[in-house]
Amino acid sequence: MGLLESPFNSLLCMLLGISFTVWFTLLLVFIVVPAIFGLSFGIRTLYMKVLLKVFEWATLRIERGAKEKKHLLYKPNTNGIIAKKPTSLEEELKEIRRNGSGRDLDGSSPTFAVSDIFYFCRRGVESIVDDEVTKRFTAEELESWNLLTRSNYNFQHISARLTALWGLGLLIRYCCLLPLRLTLAITGVTLLVVFTTIIGFLPNGRMKNFLSEKVHLMCYRICVRALTAIITYHHSENKPKNGGICVANHTSPIDVIILASDGCYAMVGQTHGGLMGIIQRSMVKACPHIWFERSEIKDRHLVAKRLSDHVEDKNKLPILIFPEGTCINNTSVMMFKKGSFEIASTIYPVAIKYDPRFGEAFWNSSKFGMVSYLLRMMSSWAIVCSVWYLPPMSRQEGEDAVQFANRVKAAIARQGGLVDLLWDGGLKRSKVKDTFKEEQQKLYSKILWDHNSSP
C-alpha cells in the first residue's frame, strides 16, 4: 500500500506545484505587473466588445421569438409610465376656475372653488402610479436582456440556442470568472494591508509619500481587475489636487475603488470592526485618512474642523466625499448634504456613470448585505463605467452652502446624463419632513388670497 501511495502522492504534489506556478506566473504577468505600472493589455476591452455582440444577438432573438409566438414583450419604463404635465398649482387652479364658475373675483376675501380639489387629487394619484423618488432606490430596468437571470423580464424559453447561451454564460461566470476574481480580490487586499503596514515604519517624508502612493495605486488597480471593471476616464487634466475636496455621485462602495485607482485620495468614513477595520488601520499608517468613530459623526462641528484642518495642509491628499450620503441607483443625483460645501476650499466635482448592461452596480442595501452584493458584482459580466473629471468650482460671493451644493450637483447631473433631483437620498429610509407639506399648504393659501394685498 505504502509503495503505491508514494508515487501517486508525489505525482499529485508535482501536478499541484506546477499548476500553482503557472497560475501564479499568469497572475503576475497579466495582472499584477500591469497594475503596478498602470498599463493594460486590452483584454478587458476585447471582452466587452464580444459581450455586446452576444447581447445584441440575444435581444434580436427574443424579439423575433416573441413576434412568432405572439407574446407581448414587457418594455421597461425608462422615462416614466404616465404623461405628467409640468404645470404649477397656480396655473392649473386658474385654468379650472376660469372654465368653471363665471363668477367675478371681487378681491376682498379669499376665493375658493370646489373644483380646486381636482388638482391635488390628480397629482396625488399620479404620484401613486409613478413617482420620482422611490424608483431611484431600486436597480434600473434594462431595455435589452444581458443573459443574467437577475435582470430578466421577458425570457420564457424562446429558443434552445438562447437557453444554451444563457447556461454557458452561467457556467463561465460562476466557474471561471468568480474564482479568478475572488483570488485577485484577496491578493489585492492582502497586498494593501501588508505593504501599507511596512511603509508605516518609514519616517515621514517624500520617500514615504511616494511609496504610499505607488502601493495604494497598485492595490486598487488589482481590485479593479478583480471586478473586471472597464473604466474610461475623461478630462484627466481636471484631476483633484492637494488641499481640495473631491465630490462625486454615489452608486455603490465600488465608486471608491474606481476613483482611487486613478489618483490618490484621503478617504473619509466611519471606523468599522473586522476586516474593514484592519484595512482602515493599516491604510492610515501609510498616509493620513480621516476615520471617525461612530459617536463623533453626530458632532457636525468636530467633523467640519477635522476636514478643514486636513484641507489646509497642502501636503495632504485631496479628500474624497460622497455628499448624497447614501447609494442611489445611478439614474439621478439626489440632494447633496451641505456639510462639505461649508468648508473653504476648492471643490473638484466628478461624475460617475455605470453602464448597466454588463452588471448592475447599484447597492440596494435594504435587499442585499455587503458580502452578497460583492458576490453579485463578481459574478456579473463586468463593471463598465465612465468617469468625468469636471473643472474645479469654488463658492461665489453671496452664495450660501446650499446654493453652491445645488450648483455642483447640477454640473455633475448634466455631465453624467442623470436627472437632477432636489429630494433627499435619506428618504430611502426615513419619512419626508412635514415642512414640505406646509410649503404646499402655504402656496395654496396664497392663491386663495390671490387678489388681496394683505393676508
Binding mask 379-418 for another protein (x = CB under 8 A): ----------------------------------------
Residue of 301, 227, 299, 220 whose CA lies nearest to 263: 220
What minimum distance in Å lies between the beta carbon of 152 and another protein? 6
CA distance 183 to 169: 20
Q: Could you say whether residue 454 binds another protein (CB under 8 A)?
A: no
Where in 186-254 does DSSP place strands (E)? 229-234, 245-248
Helix 160-171 with 43-69: angle, nearest 10 deg:
150
Q: How is the beta sheet containing 290-292 ordered, strand by strand?
A: 229-234, 383-389, 347-355, 245-248, 319-321, 266-270, 290-292
CA distance 267 to 261: 13
Binding mask 94-113 for another protein (x = CB under 8 A): --x--xxxx------xx-x-
Kindly state the cell numbers that stand for 315: 501636503
Maximum C-alpha span of the chain: 112
Q: Could you say whether residue 427 binds another protein (CB under 8 A)?
A: yes
**Binding segment toward another protein, per CB under 8 A, in 91-99, 240-248, 310-318, 377-385:** 91-99
Query: Which residues pair with residue 233 across a beta bridge?
Result: 387
Kindly state the cell numbers that stand for 197: 503596514
**Cβ closest to another protein, residue 299 vs residue 439:** 439
- Whether the Cβ atoms of residue 318 and residue 242 lie closer than 8 Å to each other: yes
Amino acid at 251: T
What minimum distance in Å lies between the beta carbon of 232 and another protein? 30
Q: Could you say whether residue 134 binds another protein (CB under 8 A)?
A: yes
What minimum distance in Å lies between the beta carbon of 389 and another protein? 32
**Cβ closest to another protein, residue 109 vs residue 394:** 109
Q: Could you say whether residue 68 binds another protein (CB under 8 A)?
A: no
What minimum distance in Å lies between the beta carbon of 161 and another protein? 19
**Cβ closest to another protein, residue 134 vs residue 232:** 134
Q: Could you say whether residue 117 binds another protein (CB under 8 A)?
A: yes
Residue of 109, 111, 70 whose CA lies nearest to 90: 111
Q: Could you say whether residue 368 binds another protein (CB under 8 A)?
A: no
Backbone angles phi, psi at 65, to 5 degrees: -60, -40
**Cβ closest to another protein, residue 348 vs residue 362:** 362
Query: For residues 279-338, which are near another protein according to CB under 8 A?
Result: none
**Binding segment toward another protein, per CB under 8 A, in 121-129, 180-188, 246-254, 379-387:** 121-129
Instruction: Candidates 1, 3, 4, 83: give the one binding another protein (CB under 8 A).
Output: 83
Instruction: Candidates 9, 88, 152, 270: give the one binding another protein (CB under 8 A).
Output: 152
What minimum distance in Å lies between the beta carbon of 255 and another protein? 25
Amino acid at 437: K
Q: Could you say whether residue 131 binds another protein (CB under 8 A)?
A: yes
Instruction: Candidates 27, 133, 182, 191: give the one binding another protein (CB under 8 A).
Output: 133
Sorted by sequence, the CB contacts under 8 Å of residue 304 that are 6+ apart come out as: 339, 342, 343
The DSSP H or E segment spanning 447 is helix 434-448
Residue of 301, 377, 296, 369 whose CA lies nearest to 339: 301
Instruction: Candidates 2, 124, 203, 398: give the one binding another protein (CB under 8 A).
Output: 124
Backbone angles phi, psi at 387, to 5 degrees: -120, 125
Q: Could you say whether residue 128 binds another protein (CB under 8 A)?
A: yes
Query: Which residues pair with residue 173 across a beta bridge?
Result: none
Q: Could you say whether residue 74 binds another protein (CB under 8 A)?
A: yes
Instruction: Candidates 4, 114, 160, 371: give the one binding another protein (CB under 8 A).
Output: 114
**Binding segment toward another protein, per CB under 8 A, in 18-26, 68-76, 182-190, 245-253:** 68-76
Instruction: Candidates 27, 61, 155, 213: give the one binding another protein (CB under 8 A).
Output: 155
Helix 178-199 with 370-378: angle, nearest 10 deg:
120
**Cβ closest to another protein, residue 63 vs residue 399:** 63
CA distance 351 to 251: 11
Q: Which residues bind another protein (CB under 8 A)?
A: 72, 74-75, 77, 79-83, 92, 96, 99-102, 109-110, 112, 114-135, 138, 152-153, 155-156, 423, 427, 431-432, 436-442, 444-446, 448, 455
